[in-house]
Amino acid sequence: MTGSRWTPAIAVLALAAACGGRDARAPASTADTAAASTPADTTVGAGGPSKVEGFQNPESARYDAELDVWYVSNVNGSPVAKDGNGYISRLHGDGTVDSMKWIVGGAGGATLNAPKGLGLQGDTLWVADVDVVRAFNRRTGAPVASVDLKGKAKFLNDLVVGPDGVYITDTGVEGSASGMKHTGPDQVFHIGAGHKARVALASDSLMGPNGIAWDGGHGRYVIVPFAGTVVRGWTPGSRTVTSLGTTAGQLDGVEVLDSSRLLITSWADSSLFVLQDGKSTTVAGDLPSPADIGIDTKRHRVAIPLLMENRVEFRSLP
């Protein structure tokens, strides 16, 4: 899929690659380093801070209910660069910082380039990282596995654990000297028993698949596009997808709230919104570059990484 309909998506992805105006290939400045090492928790209330600063291009937040902690992936540069400087932060359940750099690329045997989507499966924390899916022990942070999709995947993005394994979206874009461009294909990978990987779905209708969530009540996955406007439902094994509603577009994170409501972020209007019966209702605005959200099932809060703002904001669930 090429052409003018991809222009908005590529513009935003190029902006992400530029890391807020700083050349992603350049070393971090003293200010960048200070921001990462001295995070600020602000507006602390009974449920914890409403925002936490000091990340470096935070892309995904995943809540661990058993340990009562958050994991936050930090791209730290270009979203396609294999620069080895990505890392995972760990926050306490209330959002206060436990360790800003908990799993760090190049330390303790870990490799992380531009980590994005996160998912939990037993004691394993799965991480989508450009064209490799990496696994770490969720308690210690030690690397435990790696599934190499080089030559098959272009831009692994969001990740979710379903009943039969791990599913990862491939947005189908790649970087070059001239910038970011879509080369396809638009696909979803599956990692099953024995860490065997396969393409579970490939379809132009996915329009740059970004966020993915398991909707157990309907036995399907929900997939949101970054380059399109239509939210899709997909049943494993099927080669077709169904429309669940049309939105403003440039969608990123998605979570299933209940049998009829989806919680989704949009870069197009900097919002967090609920999609129900095909209609969207804004929950929160003024959220620039809202990425892959996570839900705290104990405090009933949602974490929203703002990729270009280097912070994570928290809101009450609708």
Of the two residues 177 and 284, the one the predictor is more confident about is 284
The DSSP code for 130 is: B
pLDDT above 80 (res 12)? no
pLDDT tens profile 180-239: 888 889 999 999 999 999 999 999 999 999 999 999 999 999 999 999 999 999 999 999
Q: For the chain, which residues make up each domain, given as ranges?
A: 4-316
pLDDT per residue as tens digits for the range 256-265? 999 999 999 9
Q: What is the dihedral of CA 47, 50, 51, 52, to 10 degrees?
A: -20
Provide the whole-model pTM. Answer: 0.88
- In angstroms, the CA 280 to CA 201 distance is 26
Asked whether the beta carbons of 187 and 202 are under 8 A apart, the reply is: yes
In angstroms, the CA 143 to CA 137 distance is 6
Question: Which pLDDT score is estimated for 182?
Answer: 83
**34: buried, middle or exposed (CB in 10 Å: 19+, 13-18, 0-12)?**
exposed
| pLDDT at residue 1 in the model | 34
Is the confidence at residue 88, as pLDDT, over 80? yes
According to DSSP, residue 202 is labeled: E
Higher-confidence position of 15 and 68: 68
Report the pLDDT value the prediction gives residue 46, as an integer from 0 to 100: 53
d(C-alpha 79, C-alpha 116), whole Å: 8
* Interval 265-288: pLDDT, tens: 999 999 999 999 999 999 999 999
> pLDDT band at residue 35, thresholds of 50, 70 and 90?
very low
Q: Which two tokens stand for residue 158?
A: 């969001």
How confident is the model over 150-175, as pLDDT tens digits?
999 999 999 999 999 999 999 999 88
Task: Work out the pLDDT band at 9, boundaries 50, 70, 90.
Answer: very low
CB 70 within 8 A of CB 95: yes
Q: Which CATH superfamily is domain 4-316 in?
A: TolB, C-terminal domain (2.120.10.30)
Report the pLDDT value the prediction gives residue 114, as an integer from 0 to 100: 98
Share of the chain above pLDDT 90, in %: 81
Mean pLDDT value across the chain: 88
Identify the band that residue 32 occupies on the pLDDT scale cut at 50, 70 and 90: very low
| pLDDT tens readout for residues 89-137 | 999 999 999 999 999 999 999 999 999 999 999 999 999 999 999 999 9
The confidence band for 38, taking pLDDT boundaries of 50, 70 and 90, is very low
* CA nearest to 54, candidates 28, 73, 36, 70: 36
